[in-house]
């Protein structure tokens, strides 16, 4: 056995390390339970289970990975090596050299871990907030087991998962027998490094992991906590054993998607429709930035249509603008689903959104001017349009500054934070696309222009008031 397996990272404290076991179950269940139609390379929304597990852990703050890998090592390396999305160190430990049932393997690993370690299988899809919660809840000398309700779809009893008997959040026992009142263990366990050392040696079957025995012994002293995924909707976990599980996991992934600033229409309409477009874009291989450009082009066509000035053109333009708002949801969805978020992509998205909004205001202003051409008040739409465009530009700058203040130094007072979140989530959203459509239907787009001119100015003044106490903070 090699003297050094991973580079010691003395700065990695708390829960910063994860050990992946793609070949076996954490709890030593029979291999046939995990050999259905799904495996480590099974694709879920275009990404294999193993790669998705790695990327989810990375997103959640895990800073180094160790993979206890079997004969599928070459395939997993190849799958993980595609692209540059994995930025944390990954160490490959072949189980032929580091047997799972050998105490020396776990002694070596324990010596390389600072604080706690997350042990994970790869036969499931889970939310990154679940891992973030585990990282914040670690306590000295305490293990954590992630559990879920038994919501399996009428599986045969021979394939049922291990049950956890729990009392007051503490593990009492682990059983293979069905119990409707018990929670089901997932392949996510947090262990203090000391649990894996020689002091924790126990007898296990050949080729299996001693995790179950460690937990059972620690549970006697009340040193094992159970975190149920049922307590928080954002802490979901989905087993993936067959094709039907893949569909459930994909549905949960889509349902977990949410932008930073969303209004009522976004939550209850745009997101519902955008999921269909997102699936099409994923199938076509579109990148998030390409989708951003596509949404921008549709929005600019809508603005040009508003500039025609006729009633029918206004309806078509409003529908195109609504379509642009729906497509605009997709770039972020694709980025989060494929782990391709980037600072440039975020900047491009918000910048193009504001370009479209200003073009829409300008287009409505031109269309209203053409309808009123020759009358004494024909100049009014142009004045209102200019005010709306300038107000939107100022709002964009203030919103950008507010985001920088929040991400760098934070707000000086809770009142500032509350007002900023309220305005960004409820005012700075795509919901006004529906308002534009309503005014287009009733033939009063000039009324909307007046509201936009006034609203953009009022929003700018309010945002200026919100950020003023923190305006001297360097961002």
d(CA 382, CA 313): 19
Lowest mean pLDDT among 93-102, 356-365, 392-401: 392-401
- DSSP class of 162: P
Question: Cβ–Cβ contacts within 10 Å for residue 236, how many?
Answer: 19
Digit-coded pLDDT (tens) for 394-410 = 888 877 777 777 666 66
Compute the C-alpha angle 287/301/390, nearest 5°.
95
135 vs 114: CA distance, rounded Å: 13
pLDDT tops 70 at residue 181: no
Q: What mean pLDDT is predicted for residues 419-432?
A: 63
Of 286, 284, 297, 295, give the one whose Cα is nearest residue 334: 286
Q: What is the mean pLDDT of residues 345-362?
A: 92
pLDDT band at 425 (very low <50, low <70, confident <90, very high): low
pLDDT tens-digit readout, 125-180: 999 999 999 999 898 889 999 998 876 544 544 344 788 888 888 999 888 766 65
What pLDDT score was predicted for residue 6? Answer: 44
Size (the chain), residues: 475
467 has pLDDT over 90: no
- Sequence spans of domains, the chain: 15-242, 257-470
Residue whose tokens read 């360097």: 474
The predicted pLDDT at position 261 comes to: 56
Between residues 118 and 434, the one the model is more confident about: 118
The predicted pLDDT at position 37 comes to: 74
Distance CA 300, CA 297 (A): 5
pLDDT at 2: 43
pLDDT at position 53, please?
95
What SS3 class is residue 180?
coil
Nearest-5° Cα angle at 175, 173 to 179: 105
* Cα separation, 164 vs 183, whole angstroms: 5
Residue 350: per-residue pLDDT: 87
Distance CA(461)–CA(466), nearest Å, equals: 9
Residue 430 binned pLDDT confidence (cut-offs 50, 70, 90): low
The rounded percent of the chain whose pLDDT value lies above 90 is 46
The model's pTM is: 0.82
Q: What is the DSSP letter of 68?
A: E
Can you tell me whether residue 406 is helix, strand or coil? helix
Lowest mean pLDDT among 153-157, 208-212, 298-302: 153-157
Q: Please check the confidence at residue 61 and state whether its pLDDT lies above 50.
A: yes
The helix or strand, by DSSP H or E, that contains position 126, with its residue range, turns out to be: strand 124-126
Query: Which whole number is the average pLDDT over 273-291?
Result: 94
The whole-number average pLDDT for the span 108-114 is: 87
Of residues 40 and 263, more confidently modeled: 40
Question: Which residue has 């000039």 as its token pair?
Answer: 446
Compute the distance between CA of residue 338 and CA of residue 313 in angstroms, rounded to an integer: 37
CATH topology of domain 15-242: Spore Coat Polysaccharide Biosynthesis Protein SpsA; Chain A (3.90.550)
User: Cα dist. 8→12, 100, 110 in Å?
Assistant: 9, 21, 11
CA-CA distance, 87 to 426, in Å (whole number)? 35
Cα-to-chain-centroid distance, residue 31: 31
- 159-171 pLDDT, tens digit per residue, is 447 888 888 889 9
Report in angstroms the alpha-carbon separations of 16 from 49, 65, 113, 225, 298.
21, 9, 9, 19, 44
Q: Lowest mean pLDDT: which of 58-67, 71-80, 305-314?
A: 71-80
Q: Which fold has domain 257-470?
A: 1.20.120
Average pLDDT, the chain: 83
Task: Give the pLDDT score at 287.
Answer: 95
Residue-level pLDDT at 411? 64
Q: From CA 420, how far away is CA 429, in angstroms rounded?
A: 13
pLDDT, tens digit, 9 for 90 and up, residues 269-278: 888 899 999 9
Which residues is 238 bridged to in the sheet? 125
Average pLDDT for residues 312-328, to the nearest whole number? 95
Q: What is the pLDDT of residues 366-383, one digit of tens each?
A: 999 998 887 888 889 999
Average pLDDT over residues 15-43: 76
Residue 12: exposure state from Cβ atoms within 10 A (0-12, 13-18, ≥19): middle
The Cα 313–Cα 459 span in angstroms is 29
* Closest CA relative to residue 369, chosen from 306, 286, 291: 306
Name the strand (E) or helix (H) holding 144: strand 143-148
pLDDT computed for residue 31 by the predictor: 45
Q: Are 66 and 119 in contact (CB under 8 A)?
A: no
- The rounded distance, in Å, linking the Cα atoms of 223 and 15 is 17
pLDDT at 265: 72
Residue 281 φ/ψ, nearest 5 degrees: -65, -40
**Range of lowest pLDDT (28-37, 189-198, 284-293, 330-339):** 28-37
Q: Is the pLDDT of residue 447 over 60?
A: yes
Binned at pLDDT 50, 70 and 90, residue 10 comes out as very low
Q: Can you list the alpha helix ranges (DSSP code H) found in 285-342?
A: 288-306, 311-338
Return the pLDDT at 372: 86
Choose the weakest-confidence range: 40-44, 79-83, 356-360, 386-390: 79-83
Cα 78 to Cα 72, 82, 84, distances in angstroms: 10, 7, 12
Higher pLDDT, 178 or 241: 241
């Amino acid at each position: 056995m090699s003297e050094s397996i991973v580079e010691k990272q003395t700065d990695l404290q708390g829960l910063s390390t994860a050990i992946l076991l793609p070949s076996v179950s954490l709890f030593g269940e029979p291999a046939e339970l995990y050999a259905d139609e799904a495996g480590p390379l099974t694709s879920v929304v275009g990404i294999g289970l193993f790669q998705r597990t790695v990327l989810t852990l990375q997103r959640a703050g895990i800073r180094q990975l160790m993979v206890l890998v079997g004969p599928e090592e070459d395939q997993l390396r190849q799958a993980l090596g595609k692209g540059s999305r994995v930025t944390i160190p990954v160490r490959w430990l072949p189980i032929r050299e580091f047997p799972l049932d050998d105490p020396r393997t776990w002694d070596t690993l324990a010596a390389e871990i600072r604080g706690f370690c997350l042990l994970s299988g790869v036969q499931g899809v889970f939310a990154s907030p679940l891992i973030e919660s585990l990282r914040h809840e670690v306590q000295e000398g305490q293990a954590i087991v992630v559990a879920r309700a038994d919501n399996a779809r009428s599986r045969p009893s021979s394939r049922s998962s291990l049950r956890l008997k729990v009392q007051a959040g503490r593990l009492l026992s682990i059983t293979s027998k069905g119990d409707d009142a018990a929670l089901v263990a997932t392949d996510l366990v947090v262990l203090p490094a000391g649990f894996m050392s020689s002091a924790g040696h126990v007898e296990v079957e050949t080729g299996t992991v001693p995790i179950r025995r460690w937990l059972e012994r620690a549970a006697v002293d009340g040193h094992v906590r159970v975190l149920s995924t049922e307590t928080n909707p954002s802490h979901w976990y989905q087993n993936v054993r067959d094709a039907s599980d893949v569909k459930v996991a994909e549905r949960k992934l889509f349902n977990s998607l949410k932008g930073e600033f969303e209004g009522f229409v976004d939550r209850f309409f745009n997101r519902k429709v955008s999921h269909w477009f997102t699936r099409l874009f994923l199938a076509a291989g579109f990148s998030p930035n390409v989708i951003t450009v596509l949404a921008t082009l549709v929005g600019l066509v809508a603005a040009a249509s508003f500039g025609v000035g006729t009633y029918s053109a206004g309806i078509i333009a409003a529908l195109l603008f609504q379509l642009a708002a729906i497509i605009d949801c997709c770039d972020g969805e694709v980025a989060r689903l494929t782990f391709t978020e980037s600072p440039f992509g975020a900047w491009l998205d918000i910048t193009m959104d504001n370009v479209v909004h200003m073009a829409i205001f300008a287009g409505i202003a031109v269309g209203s001017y053409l309808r009123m051409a020759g009358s004494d008040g024909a100049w009014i739409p142009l004045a209102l349009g200019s005010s709306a465009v300038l107000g939107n530009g100022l709002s964009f700058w203030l919103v950008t500054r507010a985001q920088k203040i929040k991400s760098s130094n934070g707000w000086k007072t809770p009142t500032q934070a509350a007002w900023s979140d309220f305005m960004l989530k409820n005012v700075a959203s795509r919901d006004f696309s529906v308002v534009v459509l309503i005014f287009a239907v009733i033939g009063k787009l000039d009324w909307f222009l007046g509201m936009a001119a006034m609203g953009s100015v009022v929003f700018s003044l309010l945002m200026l008031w919100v950020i003023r106490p923190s305006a001297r903070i360097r961002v």
